[in-house]
Amino acid sequence: MSTKTVTGKQAAVIEHRDQLIATFAKGEKPPARWRIGTEHEKFVYRLSDHRAPSYDEPGGIRDLLMGLTRFGWQPVMEGEHVIALSGADGSISLEPAGQFELSGAPLDNLHQTCAETGRHLEQVASVGGELGLGFLGLGMWPDKARADLPIMPKGRYAIMLRHMPRVGSLGLDMMLRTCTIQVNLDYQSEADMAQKFRVGLALQPLATALFANSPFTEGKPNSYLSYRSHIWSDTDPARTGMLPFVFEDGFGYERYAEYALDVPMYFVYRDGRYIDAAGQSFRDFLDGRLPALPGEKPTVDDWSDHLSTAFPEVRLKSFLEMRGADGGPWGRICALPALWVGLLYDQGALDAAWDLVKGWDMAGREELRASVPKLGLDAPLPGGGRLRDIAGEVLDIAHAGLAARARHDAGGSDETGFLDPLREIVRRGTVPAELLLERYEGAWGGDVARIYEEMRF
């Protein structure tokens, strides 16, 4: 989730609806300026007993953050607490229960992205080793109950933790027990955004399947391959899902703005604190009728904050976020941006991907999304067949898109090799969660604690 960045500048008050649309339009860039921003989260645990450390305890999350300042990271404060770091490689932030996230810098190519990931993981391993901390790449805590987990001192999280049980049964699990990998990508026009959004939504279930990595809950199999993905189905229906309107004729910035206006608010940030506005209407805010701030109108910063509180499978800000993947190990962190850059950053690949999915009806898309957390590559495709039937073809399209980009490293290799972990999953026919379940039933002898040895960064 986003960490609030305070610039000290006075944001413009929203006086007309065009300012809402301008947030999206200002993201338009020519292809030469398109960048890749990769985000990945990981669980932090004590090596000695696998416990999740609290923020304040000696050798806990605060000490981990401060230990990373030796590498040039600068603290970001919320009141008296350091709650994030900023630096040349982007920002490091905390999810609600201390999940550790790198939101990488906007980079030109995947070679840079994977190098950034490597630097980050080496840094946290160095500091974590001194503090007795390890880091786990999974989509969900394999053995922790909600009550086992600490809460980080961030104002927006306190509001969300109060609100989540009002709107869904699994929202607290989303906040406290999950990790993801995401990639943020650019667009050159409203039409380009719309095509990328549609392809991203339609094929997000394939990313969910290929990265499915959360088959355990509280130490036992949970009957899902991506329980993290299932959690979103009962988090908050007003701010999640497949967004059918994206596939309707005329979809663009204005239609997404209308959707976002209908997403209930969480908070308003004023004078260094978060004001609880959970369940209130941004439309009322535009009219100066927000109960939390009567008579006050929103700024463009308030709108940007609000956009960060919608959680669909693909999210629009001034860029597009691909949000369907479980957390995972190093190689798959690099593979997720490879998949989406290959599909979306070359026009030939984008057109080929759209041709593959444009005939799907909405009912079929919804069924695919609903079934993939449990069935993975065996989830049913709209019109017949299984997701595995198109997985290889989609990777071929992504491969062609990456080859066409022709971004080479110092050794002359292009970006296509970053798809190799996904190629292996498709070749094998089993997703990561299925391999974990095999280990659990076999070599681990039903002891899920073995995962800390085998899935540690």
Whole-number pLDDT of residue 8: 56
pLDDT at 2 over 90: no
- What whole-number distance in Å separates Cα of residue 227 and Cα of residue 233? 10
| pLDDT at residue 10, rounded to an integer | 83
Give the start-end residues of each E strand in 27-118: 36-46, 74-78, 81-87, 90-94, 100-103
Q: DSSP secondary-structure letter at 311?
A: E
Supply φ then ψ for residue 384, to 5 degrees.
120, 155
pLDDT at 321: 98
Q: Is residue 198, in this structure, part of any structural domain at all? A: yes
Q: Is residue 63 part of a domain?
A: yes
What contacts 431, CB < 8 A, 6 or more positions away?
209, 210, 211, 212, 213, 225, 376, 377, 425
Q: What is the pLDDT of residue 4?
A: 53
Mean pLDDT of 201-208: 98
- pLDDT > 80? residue 447: yes
* Burial group, residue 403, by CB count within 10 angstroms (0-12, 13-18, 19+): middle
- 9 pLDDT more than 90: no
Within a domain: 387? yes
Q: Stretch 10-21: mean pLDDT, rounded?
A: 94
4 and 94 Cβ atoms separated by less than 8 Å: no
Please say if the pLDDT value at position 52 is more than 90: yes
Domain assignment present for residue 281? The answer is no
**For 296-354, how does the pLDDT look when each residue is reduced to its tens digit (9 = 90+)?**
999 999 999 999 999 999 999 999 999 999 999 998 999 999 999 999 999 999 999 99
Contact in structure between 332 and 431 (CB atoms under 8 Å): no
Output the pLDDT for position 5: 57
CATH number of residue 170's parent domain: 3.30.590.20
Task: Report how many domains make up the chain.
Answer: 1
What is the spatial distance between Cα 309 and Cα 317, in angstroms, rounded to a whole number?
Answer: 11
Residue 409 has pLDDT above 90, yes or no: yes
340's CB contacts (< 8 A; 6+ apart) are: 183, 185, 200, 207, 322, 398
How many C-beta atoms lie closer than 10 Å to residue 165's C-beta? 11
Answer whether 252's CB lies under 8 Å from 258's CB.
no
| Residue 3, pLDDT score | 55
Say if 15 falls within a structural domain: no
Under a CB-based contact definition with an 8 Å cutoff, are residues 90 and 38 in contact?
no
* Residue 303 placed within a domain: no
Three-class SS string for 326-359? Answer: ECCCHHHHHHHHHHHHHHHCCHHHHHHHHHHHCC
pLDDT over 70, % of the chain:
98
Domain that holds residue 135: 30-263+310-454
Pairing state between β 314-316 and 320-326: antiparallel
**Has residue 7 got a pLDDT over 70?**
no
pTM of the model: 0.97
Residue 427 banded pLDDT, cuts 50, 70, 90: very high
Mean pLDDT computed over every residue of the chain: 97
Q: What is the SS3 assignment for 78? A: strand
DSSP 232: G
Nearest to 164 by CA among 269, 97, 235: 235
**pLDDT surpassing 70 at residue 114:** yes
Query: What pLDDT is recorded for position 6?
Result: 55
**pLDDT (tens digit per residue) in 250-304:** 999 999 999 999 999 999 999 999 999 999 999 999 999 999 999 999 999 999 9
Residue 293 inside a domain? The answer is no
Separation between Cα atoms, residue 23 and residue 434, nearest integer Å? 41
Asked if residue 350 belongs to a domain, the reply is yes
Give 182's strand partners.
Answer: 39
pLDDT tens digits, one per residue of 16-44: 999 999 999 999 999 999 999 999 999 99
Q: Is the per-residue pLDDT at 177 higher than 90? A: yes
Q: What percent of the chain has pLDDT over 90?
A: 97
Mean pLDDT, residues 92-98: 98
- Between helices 362-375 and 190-210, what is the axis angle to 10°? 30
